[in-house]
A and B are shown apart, each in its own frame.
Chain A
Amino acid sequence: GQSLEQPSEVTAVEGAIVQINCTYQTSGFYGLSWYQQHDGGAPTFLSYNALDGLEETGRFSSFLSRSDSYGYLLLQELQMKDSASYFCAVRDAGGNTPLVFGKGTRLSVIA
């Protein structure tokens, strides 16, 4: 099976930078994904890392270290609208296998 660990809550100030960590244990590994979910909404895709290193998409970046079974999501220039839950997710096989999600990190951005 798979297990993912991420902090349950993070609070940060508007305009700051926040990092959300994720460690995982899987039998196989086909990449680490990050999703954002606002209250009452569906998860939306943010980023994906298959190889080690940093992927940047605007204010969001995601990092992966396969040797450490570790990744993080970095959010820069925080805005109030970034207050949401953030989930890391893995797929342990290719093809039509589903994502398995971490328990989520609730980010609160304060003024």
Chain B
Amino acid sequence: GAVVSQHPSWVICKSGTSVKIECRSLDFQATTMFWYRQFPKQSLMLMATSNEGSKATYEQGVEKDKFLINHASLTLSTLTVTSAHPEDSSFYICSAIDPTGGGSNQPQHFGDGTRLSIL
């Protein structure tokens, strides 16, 4: 079964709206979660690393004031797209590493993604 739960799976909203996406680790505690964005027919691009109890680390070119990340507990990270515009329409995927599994390969589990469409 899923070990990372992401909600909602689909959002359609008007331009200017803020949208919150939740990412939960179900079977393990994740001090670190990752947020990716994927445009159609492109790869997954890392947006930011979400750290429990501290500020997120954003990749170059990602606006931290537009994509607010909160990691308030060891099992929950949220991404808020503030004042979303059509160019923010994309597939957003969260991910978390299970620190207890895999030996040298700590598995990185992915949520089912959130398809965001801004009209």
Q: Which A residues are within 8 Å of any B CB, using their own CB?
A: 30-31, 33, 40-45, 48, 50, 87, 91, 94-96, 98-104, 106
Instruction: Tally chain B residues at the interface, Cβ within 8 Å.
Output: 25
Q: Which of B34, B41, B43 contacts A98 (CB 8 A)?
A: B34
CA separation between A72 and B104, bound complex, in Å?
Answer: 20
What sequence of 0s and 1s flags, for each residue 36-77 of chain B, a beta carbon within 8 Å of any chain A beta carbon?
A: 000001111110010000000000000000000000000000
Give chain A's interface secondary structure class.
Answer: loop
Q: Which of B42, B49, B93, B107 contacts A103 (CB 8 A)?
A: B42
> Closest 3 A-B residue pairs measured CB to CB?
A96-B32, A98-B34, A103-B43
Contact present for B107 and A45 (CB under 8 Å):
yes
Q: Which B residues are within 8 Å of any A CB, using their own CB?
A: 31-32, 34, 41-46, 49, 93, 95, 97, 99, 104-113, 115
CA separation between A44 and B95, bound complex, in Å?
Answer: 11
Given contacts A42-B93, A98-B95, A99-B95, 20 further A-B contacts (CB under 8 A): A31-B105, A41-B113, A42-B111, A42-B113, A43-B44, A43-B93, A45-B108, A45-B109, A50-B104, A87-B44, A91-B108, A94-B104, A96-B32, A96-B49, A96-B99, A98-B108, A100-B46, A101-B45, A103-B42, A104-B43
